[in-house]
Amino acid sequence: MFRTLLLALVALAAHAQEPFPAKPVTIVVPYPPGGQADLAARPLANSLQQILKQPFVVLNRPGASGAVGNRAVASANADGYTILVTLVSITTIPEVEKMFGRPLSYTMDQFAPLALLAADPPVLVVGEQQPWKSVKELLDDAKKRPDDIVYSHSGLYGPSHLPMEMLLHEAGAKMRGLPAVGGGPSMQLVLGGSAAMWASPPAMAVPQVAANKMRVLASFGAKRHPAFPDAPTLKELGYAAGKGLWSALYAPAATPRDVLDIVHRLTVQALNAEPTQATFKKQMIKAIPNASVSDAKAWDKEETAHWRKLTETVKIERPE
């Protein structure tokens, strides 16, 4: 009995001293491949794998505007081996569920913010076959034909839905939103003609604009986007500037602080690695990691408050 207990304690101590990571790490992306979160997660995973010589596997778990994948990580083992690359909608989903009296998929206190990966305001893109050449032309048309014009988005109250609704709310115009299960499908709805436009992450818009399949009418940010210097900002046009739509890294809340610190340090190293930088540069993504886990927590608190306020402002419809 004593010998068995001693062996168990020795094994436990050895495990506790095991360097992290000692086995493959799963990075959950709660959206389909090809969207904003996926574009950030895959270069990060590749660089982490090269640095640590340990597999980092990106697992796409789409559904319910990101709630399915977010919830999976919220309830995962808090050991650092299941982490999450997600978008701003992680903060809006619980607020929407509370607003409409639905059971909560998760709460934000079930997550430990690890690092901001990238942030960029979306750009308003329209299909090349659409008639509008400016935001004024578009909004004037929308006011004449309420709910006739269709825009796509990646889920109610998500990162491509709220910016559009805030613009329409401010302009006094109405359009119909057509939801998809992620950024990639949202883009396809515009390319296929089922929707006229959407608020696209710049990284996803760059190749489509270069191929003359879409054009940019404006940026939702405070400054013109370097990839589209001729496109005015909404602020220039007299509308409120949007806040950057971000992708960020989270872990289950109970993950030990030393593991969080390790993952944060490795994430910053991976974001600064040449392969990641090259991929991000090609996609026009700017990596801006927090300086520390404490900074990530402060940033997360501020962002959660900001997006909660937007969600309350734009009370559109009850999600199914």
CATH assignment of the domain containing 299: 3.40.190.150
Q: What is the pLDDT of residue 69?
A: 97
Residue type, 161: H
Q: What is the pLDDT of residue 65?
A: 85
Instruction: Work out the angle at residue 176's Cα, subtended by the Cα atoms of residues 163 and 303, and round it to the nearest 5 degrees.
Output: 20
Q: What is the pLDDT of residue 241?
A: 62
CA-closest candidate to residue 45, choices 66, 21, 67, 65 = 21
Q: What is the pLDDT of residue 317?
A: 55
Which of 219, 254, 273 represents a domain boundary (last residue)? Answer: 219
Q: Which residues of the chain have pLDDT under 70?
A: 1-18, 241-244, 315-320
DSSP one-letter string for 135-198: HHHHHHHHHHSTTTSEEEESSTTSTTTHHHHHHHHHHT---EEEE-SSHHHHHHHHHTTSSSEE
Number of domains into which the chain is organized = 2
**CATH number of the domain to which 184 belongs:** 3.40.190.10
Q: Are residues 213 and 127 in the same domain?
A: yes
Q: What is the pLDDT of residue 230?
A: 95
Q: What is the DSSP secondary structure assignment for residue 223, as one 8-state letter?
A: S
Residue 152 belongs to a domain: yes
| Cα separation values, 81 from 43, 66, 73, Å | 18, 20, 10
Global pTM reads: 0.84
Q: Are residues 161 and 209 in the same domain?
A: yes
Strands 56-60, 25-29: pairing kind: parallel
Q: What is the pLDDT of residue 59?
A: 98
Q: Are residues 130 and 166 in the same domain?
A: yes
Q: Are residues 111 and 144 in the same domain?
A: no
Alpha-carbon dihedral 158, 48, 113, 19, rounded to 10 degrees: 150
Q: What is the pLDDT of residue 17?
A: 53
| Cα separation values, 93 from 41, 88, 97, 253, 293, Å | 21, 9, 6, 18, 23
Q: Strand (E) positions, 33-143?
A: 56-60, 82-87, 111-120, 123-127
271 CB-near residues (< 8 Å, 6+ apart): 44, 47, 117, 277, 287, 289
Q: Which domain holds residue 250?
A: 25-119+244-313
Q: What is the pLDDT of residue 15?
A: 47
Residue 69 belongs to a domain: yes
203-212: per-residue pLDDT in tens?
899 999 999 9
